[in-house]
Amino acid sequence: MHIEHLSLTNFRNYARLELSLPQQPIVLYGENAQGKTSILEALYYLATSRSPYTTSDRQLIHWRTEDDPIPFARLAADVNNRESATQRLEITLLMDKSGPVPRFKKTIKLNGVEKRVMDVVGLLTVVLFLPQDLALVEGSPSERRRFMDTTLTQVNRDYLEALDNYEKILPQRNALLRRISERQSSRKELAFWDEQLAHAGAAVIAGRQTFLRELEELAQRNHDDLTGRTETLTLKYQPSFVPTAEANGQMSFNLLGLDLHRELTAEQIEPQFLQQLEAEQNESIMRGVTLSGPHRDELRIFINERDCGLYGSRGQARTAVLALKLAELSWMRDHLGEWPILLLDEVVAELDRKRRAYLLDRLDGIAQTLVTTTELEIFTSDFLERAQVYEVIAGQISEKATP
């Protein structure tokens, strides 16, 4: 997979940008707040239709357009992948202020034809590596759920559809629970929403389980290399309820429940999820929220059978995250048949010499890679000679001779 050209209009601090991207490693160099990260954000947004840095798409539109009749931003990329010749992927963000209430609209086009998000799944895929990815070990469960969902939705259209449905159904069920609590609706209305939620949620749980089983094997290889086989990395998926192999809610040492080694299908999980929703119905009504489901799932990372988030050192956490992100890259390659685009935002400077060398040696030449940095000195001269270095100053990009 290769991005040939990136075009930005009114995106972040870029009023206008036209940038051709070579296949060699690309280093975006400059001081902070100059626009380096915005390039990575644009590519990530084109791939996922979401920003990794903000939940408000409005913030992506250049601030100078605020007084325009219709503020807008446009992102476009010419993408080459193994499935087809160059295709143009374009997203337009538009704020319509003509009515009494401003309306925000997002439009996705492929080769000029309007598409849905799921219609362009897999056309452009990325892996983003950030210094704050330590949250995968030390942060909240939502960070780890986002990691699973971002990877899976770029590769698996069925998973994307199931997650999208789940995220639409969940707030409607929660609203109904509150109305029932206030005696404004009947319990009988829950049956429809429970069935819908269980169907979508079971597909999400099954997808996450399969993903983690495959990811763990890849991550363990990386972790073995980084630690000289002195430590063992394992992943433990902890859904908010545990469906069992016998589908009777009972677990034994001989019949493990939902783990990474005894895989359950969505069809096996769905009736058990539905039973769980019915069993906790009274408490859910009292609290006004759905108590079980993928929105409450957890992923824990263990080193030598000890929870790294609770007992691991900072160094162990960094090694585990590096192993996971490289595994994510390989997992996507295995499922897509080609390498995704790799985006490294100030990551290299955060790594010690050993991890930095391992990362650059593993990545050099296998995938189109964009790296941001404020310090060129952290790279070896050999790497810089093979790379294309761009200097970014106040939203302006120019080629820079390597030192």
The average pLDDT across 65-84 equals 87
Q: What's the CA gap between 326 and 188, in Å, rounded? A: 48
Per-residue confidence (pLDDT) for residue 256, from 0 to 100 = 42
- The answer to whether position 73 is within a domain reads no
Q: Using H for helix, E for strand and C for coil, what is the string for the chain?
A: CEEEEEEEEEECCEEEEEEECCCCCEEEECCCCCCHHHHHHHHHHHHHCCCCCCCCHHHHECHHHCCCCCCEEEEEEEEEECCEEEEEEEEEEEEECCCCCCEEEEEEEECCEEECHHHHCCCCCEEEECHHHHHHHHCCHHHHHHHHHHHHHHHCHHHHHHHHHHHHHHHHHHHHHHHHHCCCCCHHHHHHHHHHHHHHHHHHHHHHHHHHHHHHHHHHHHHHHHHCCCCCEEEEEECCCCCECCCCCCCCCCCCECCCCCCCCHHHHHHHHHHHHHHCHHHHHHHCCCCCCHHHCEEEEEECCEEHHHHCCHHHHHHHHHHHHHHHHHHHHHHHCCCCEEEEECCHHHCCHHHHHHHHHHHCCCCCEEEEECCHHHCCHHHHHHCEEEEEECCEEEECCCC
- The answer to whether position 102 is within a domain reads no
Q: Pick the more confident residue, 253 or 279.
A: 279
- The answer to whether position 238 is within a domain reads yes
Give 315's contacts (C-beta < 8 A, 6+ positions apart). none
Per-residue confidence (pLDDT) for residue 239, from 0 to 100 = 87
- The answer to whether position 281 is within a domain reads yes
52-66, 180-194, 236-250, 285-299, range with the lowest pLDDT: 236-250
Residue 251 has pLDDT above 80, yes or no: no
Per-residue confidence (pLDDT) for residue 401, from 0 to 100 = 64
Question: For 202, which DSSP code?
Answer: H
> Which residue ranges are tagged as binding site for ATP?
30-37
329-346 burial, b at 16+ Cβ within 10 Å, e below that, comes to bbbbbebbebbbbbbbbb
pLDDT cut 70: percent of the chain above it: 95
- The answer to whether position 46 is within a domain reads no
pLDDT digits (tens, 9 = 90+) for 326-377: 999 999 999 999 999 999 998 888 888 888 888 888 776 788 999 999 999 9
Query: pLDDT band at residue 325, thresholds of 50, 70 and 90?
Result: very high
Residue 254 has pLDDT above 90, yes or no: no
CATH number at residue 262: 1.20.1050.90
Cβ count within 10 A of residue 285: 18
Q: What's the CA gap between 158 and 320, in Å, rounded? A: 29
- Identify the CA nearest to 387 among candidates 124, 24, 10: 24
Per-residue confidence (pLDDT) for residue 345, from 0 to 100 = 92
Q: What domain range is 293 assigned to?
A: 133-338
- The answer to whether position 394 is within a domain reads no
Summary mean pLDDT of the chain: 90
Q: Pick the more confident residue, 62 or 331.
A: 331
The average pLDDT across 38-55 equals 93
Per-residue confidence (pLDDT) for residue 259, from 0 to 100 = 66
Query: pLDDT band at residue 252, thresholds of 50, 70 and 90?
Result: very low
> Which residue ranges are tagged as binding site?
30-37
Written as six digits, the tokens of 278 are 């019915």
Cβ count within 10 A of residue 102: 12
- The answer to whether position 401 is within a domain reads no
Q: What's the CA gap between 45 and 52, in Å, rounded? A: 8
Instruction: Order across the sheet with 14-20: list the strands.
Output: 14-20, 2-11, 72-81, 84-96, 103-110, 113-115
Claim: this prediction has a pTM higher than 0.85: yes
Residue 240 has pLDDT above 70, yes or no: yes
Residues forming beta bridges with residue 391, ordered by sequence position:
29, 398
pLDDT digits (tens, 9 = 90+) for 96-142: 777 777 778 899 999 999 999 889 988 999 999 988 888 899 899 99
- The answer to whether position 11 is within a domain reads no
Helical residues (DSSP H) of 97-233, grouped into ranges? 135-138, 141-155, 157-181, 190-227
The average pLDDT across 218-235 equals 94
Per-residue confidence (pLDDT) for residue 253, from 0 to 100 = 35
Angle at Cα 19 formed by Cα 335 and Cα 116, nearest 5°? 45
Question: For 246, which DSSP code?
Answer: T
Number of folded domains that form the chain: 1
Per-residue confidence (pLDDT) for residue 337, from 0 to 100 = 92
